[in-house]
Amino acid sequence: MKRRDFLASAGVVLAGRTLKAMMPAQAAAQAAGKADHSLRIEPCSIEIAPGVTIKTTAFNGQVPGPLLKLREGVPVTIDVTNASNVADLTHWHGLAIDSLNDGAMEEGSPMIAPGKTHRYSFTPKPSGTRWYHTHAGAGDNLALGTYSGQFGFLLIEPKENPAPWDMEVNLAIHHWEGSFVPMVETMRAMSANVPQTNGSDVGYKYATINSHMLGAGEPIRVKQGQRVLMRLLNASATENVVLALPGHTFKVIAMDGNSVPAPKSVEVLSLAVAERVDAIVEMNAPGVWVLGSTLESSRKQGLGVVIEYAGRKGQPVWKDPKPADWDYTIFGLATPAPSAYKSIELTFRDIGPQKGSKFDTWTINNKAWPDADPVMLQEGRKYRLVLRNGSGDQHPIHLHRHTFEITSIGDKFTSGVRKDTVNIMPLDTVEVDFVADNPGDTLLHCHQQLHMDYGFMMLFKYA
């Protein structure tokens, strides 16, 4: 059964059960008056370049949605009104939150019917760069789910914030106007992920950073000597990206909102779907530059933004960086992580298109959602997930409601890098540790919408 079919058959029942369970708390929240923040899911049109207008669904009629700044440990209420014509819900990505408020139907979060408003109530933690987005299924409708413009930055401010930089810039990457790409050869040319699957994939016509294609919006204006904190988010539905800024390096200080133990300066950044990187850029190369994809074809789609120094004009310059492999472990410690209570092996494979579908079905330990067996956890125990990619695709694996620590990539041990999404390369194995410290149903899935909709999900349940 496909995720979309499951949503149709089980969503109403599940939403009814969860709404009944939470009615007292929900009624109390509504009685408390106006929410701290309000979001509205609604159709909108955005002009991403002169003469190029995208019709999509977004929050409050803008892409990205409103920047939400919350304080760590301070309870918050957020009203989300669904002004679209399909049921939807909002996921608070990267937060240690309860299952009902997490915004994933598979965990029991209620769907928001068209015309209705739902109040999310939670205490935000941990601090760092998080984000919010729809968690609805899309199936073969490439206008729904994360193919749409339903995403925004969610910054959880720490109790103490030293802010050792001069300027902050939030940059969200997205791809637009997806279409079916049926042939493998064409698919590889159109997708930055270089997929090796048998079925169709998704190719895109346009790409943006925030709401504009490269050169169409206002440049990011900087001054020589400034230290600029760039918060970068890959909010695409299926496309991983690699970025560079000629003449500059990125000092990576955090991944997925979590500080890295060994900050390093690199020439290129790799962001799989749903990943975030916080990096400080020293503005010490005056000129007009392109911050954009290392792929020329992606820059032509629009994936870039102009960086303009004060007093400098002219055409933005691009220079290809030296080839470099992305390696999470350089930002971690060389010491192995302590052993875990139990190892859980999860192998991912595609089994080709099923029942006339255009897309491959994906399995975890040979079973596709919703038939994938749940894994039982004991509260307080530390578990090691052995994530084996048995396919030719990259997979950004996301664990809801918890933060994990990368402990090995292939035969290379590491520790200290804490994330909520990790990209696993074809035929590679990555091990991560997490503590089962947040009881409730917990979803694990590939964050590529195409894979998630076609079976690539499973649940962890607490005993």
In the DSSP assignment, the letter for residue 16 is H
Cα–Cα dist 229/251, whole Å: 9
Name the residue with higher pLDDT: 393 or 196: 393
Other CB atoms closer than 10 Å to residue 351's CB: what's the count?
A: 16
CA neighbor of 278 nearest in space, from 304, 255, 305: 255
The domains of the chain are located at 3-157, 167-326, 342-462
What are the backbone dihedrals phi and psi of residue 60, each rounded to the nearest 5 degrees, phi first?
A: 55, 30
CA neighbor of 59 nearest in space, from 131, 155, 128, 9: 131
State yes or no: pLDDT of 203 exceeds 80.
yes
Q: pLDDT tens digit string along 344-389?
A: 999 999 988 877 777 889 999 999 999 999 999 999 999 999 999 9
Query: What's the pLDDT band for 200 if we cut at 50, 70, 90?
Result: low
CA angle at residue 298 from 205 to 315, to 5 degrees?
Answer: 110
Query: H/E element holding 388?
Result: strand 382-389
Task: Name the CATH architecture for the domain at 167-326.
Answer: Sandwich (2.60)
Other CB atoms closer than 10 Å to residue 186's CB: what's the count?
A: 12
State yes or no: pLDDT of 210 exceeds 50.
yes
Average pLDDT, the chain: 91
Per-residue model confidence (pLDDT) at position 352 = 80
Place of tokens 């590679």: 428
**Average pLDDT value for residue range 107-129:** 98
Strand ranges across the sheet with 442-446? 375-377, 457-462, 442-446, 395-399, 421-424
Look up the CATH superfamily of 342-462. Answer: Cupredoxins -  blue copper proteins (2.60.40.420)
What's the sign of the alpha-carbon dihedral 335, 429, 138, 278?
positive
State yes or no: pLDDT of 105 exceeds 90.
yes
State yes or no: pLDDT of 26 exceeds 70.
no
**Average pLDDT value for residue range 17-29:** 42
Residues sharing a CB contact under 8 Å with residue 259, sequence separation 6 or more, in sequence order: 128, 253
3-state secondary structure of 343: strand
Check if 167-326 and 342-462 are the same fold. yes
Q: pLDDT tens digit string along 390-435?
A: 999 999 999 999 999 999 999 999 999 999 999 999 999 999 999 9
Residue 198: HSE in the Cβ half-sphere, 13 Å Cα cutoff: 11
CA neighbor of 303 nearest in space, from 288, 281, 318, 315: 318
| CATH of the domain spanning 3-157 | 2.60.40.420
Give the amino acid at 382: K
Query: H/E element holding 450?
Result: helix 449-453
**Average pLDDT value for residue range 84-107:** 98
Q: pLDDT tens digit string along 126-159?
A: 999 999 999 999 999 999 999 999 999 999 999 8
The token pair at 82 is: 């669904």
Q: In terms of residues, how long is the chain?
A: 463
Per-residue model confidence (pLDDT) at position 181 = 84
Per-residue model confidence (pLDDT) at position 355 = 76
CA neighbor of 402 nearest in space, from 446, 434, 440: 434
Cα–Cα dist 139/430, whole Å: 28
Q: pLDDT tens digit string along 299-348?
A: 999 999 999 999 999 999 999 999 899 999 999 999 999 999 999 999 99
What are the backbone dihedrals phi and psi of residue 44, each rounded to the nearest 5 degrees, phi first?
A: -155, 165
State yes or no: pLDDT of 31 exceeds 70.
no
Per-residue model confidence (pLDDT) at position 21 = 41
